[in-house]
């Protein structure tokens, strides 16, 4: 499983480097493009960002599932149940005027 994560991370790093180089070249070419081409480029970037977000969401789901299977959670622990009040404790509380 660690090998898969390393492979995914390496692939992501390569694609990010290629995308950054592409973005830099696009900045120089924007003055020659029509508004429609610019809108298409923006749509492509949004689609790419959505795919990356979906991949990250899947990773988060896997991590949370593993934590649950291991008995861990992000919320902390089980709720603390209040012990039931005995008749003597109830009488004492009422006599003190606490409700």
Please state the domain extents for the chain. 34-73
Q: Give yes or no for residue 83 having a pLDDT over 50.
A: yes
pLDDT in tens, 20-75: 656 555 555 556 889 999 999 999 999 999 999 999 999 999 998 888 888 766 66
Q: Give yes or no for residue 99 having a pLDDT over 50.
A: yes
Which band of pLDDT confidence, cut at 50, 70 and 90, is reported for residue 12? low
Q: Give yes or no for residue 11 having a pLDDT over 80.
A: no
Q: Strands, DSSP E only, in the chain? A: none
Straight-line distance from the first to the last Cα atom of the chain, in angstroms, rounded to the nearest whole number:
56
What is d(CA 16, CA 8) in angstroms, rounded to the nearest whole number? 12
| Mean pLDDT comparison of 2-6, 14-18, 32-36, 47-51, highest-scoring range | 47-51
Of residues 76, 80, 79, 57, the one with CA closest to residue 67 = 76
pTM beyond 0.75, yes or no: no
What is d(CA 31, CA 87) in angstroms, rounded to the nearest whole number? 83
- Rg of the Cα atoms in the chain: 28
What is d(CA 8, CA 14) in angstroms, rounded to the nearest whole number? 10
């Amino acid at each position: 499983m660690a090998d898969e994560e390393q492979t995914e991370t390496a692939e992501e790093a390569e694609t990010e480097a290629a995308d950054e180089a592409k973005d830099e070249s696009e900045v120089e070419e924007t003055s020659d493009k029509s508004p429609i081409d610019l809108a298409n480029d923006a749509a492509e970037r949004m689609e790419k960002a959505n795919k990356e977000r979906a991949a990250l969401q899947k990773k988060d789901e896997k991590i949370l599932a593993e934590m649950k299977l291991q008995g861990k959670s992000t919320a902390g622990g089980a709720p603390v149940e209040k012990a039931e009040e005995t008749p003597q404790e109830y009488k004492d509380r009422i006599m003190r005027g606490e409700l």
